[in-house]
Amino acid sequence: MALRPDLAVIADSVAPGSRVLDVGCGDGALMAELRSRKQVDARGIEIDGADVTRALARGLSVIQGDADTDLADYPHASFDYVILSQTLQTTRRPDIVIDHLLRIGTRAFVSFPNFAQWRIRLALMFGGRMPVTKQLPDRWYDTPNIHHVTIDDFRSLIAERGIRIERQWFLRGEKRISETVANLTAEHAVFLLSR
């Protein structure tokens, strides 16, 4: 099964043999890919018990935990990369979570849905309601998303915290989007961060 487009970007960018922590790892698809393709030492943390069970069934090292509370327990500089894919918008304090990612790892990958994408803007402007789309399939009252982050919002937060953006990718499906129109046209963003 092919990886989700943001996970494929991350998998292509992780150095072989790295130590990786995947926060919000889901069923472990990315970890399994990194283990087989890049021989990484991959660990995961996931809040959903059913996903933890699926990841463990793949032979992956995954624990059940919460990014908002459990990252504080990890020692400084214990991983080469910490990955937070499609999870930032579900955390209570994304700013603190990002600080933990870069304390725990030398670099951090963060990917998220771009809530400023033009289809979302149009749905709000003309429909007057929170949109339900392929990238945001839940209704406003049952969505796990509690922060509606845009690419420009994320860049602003990173700049305020003195964090360096090493690389950035903007995606519409599997297609890469130019940085100049990313906030308007990209459905998802992926950032590689460091201090």
pLDDT in tens, the chain (195 residues): 789 999 999 999 999 999 999 999 999 999 999 999 999 999 999 999 999 999 999 999 999 999 999 999 999 999 999 999 999 999 999 999 999 999 999 999 999 999 888 888 888 778 887 777 777 788 777 778 788 899 999 999 999 999 999 999 999 999 999 999 999 999 999 999 999
For 73, the 3-state DSSP assignment is helix
Neighbours of 52 (CB within 10 A): 22
Calpha distance 106→120 (Å, rounded): 34
Give dist(CA 65, CA 73) in Å, integer. 11
Give the model's pLDDT for residue 130: 76
Residue 35: per-residue pLDDT: 97
CB 163 within 8 A of CB 98: yes
Output the pLDDT for position 6: 97
Q: How far apart are CA 104 and CA 89, in angstroms?
A: 20
108 and 102 Cβ atoms separated by less than 8 Å: yes
Alpha helices in 39-168 (DSSP H): 49-57, 67-70, 94-104, 118-122, 151-160
pTM over 0.85? The answer is yes
| Residue 104, pLDDT score | 98
**pLDDT score recorded for residue 32:** 98
Is 141 exposed, middle or buried (CB count within 10 Å of its CB: 0-12, 13-18, 19+)?
Answer: exposed
Q: What is the pLDDT of residue 139?
A: 79
pLDDT of residue 80: 98
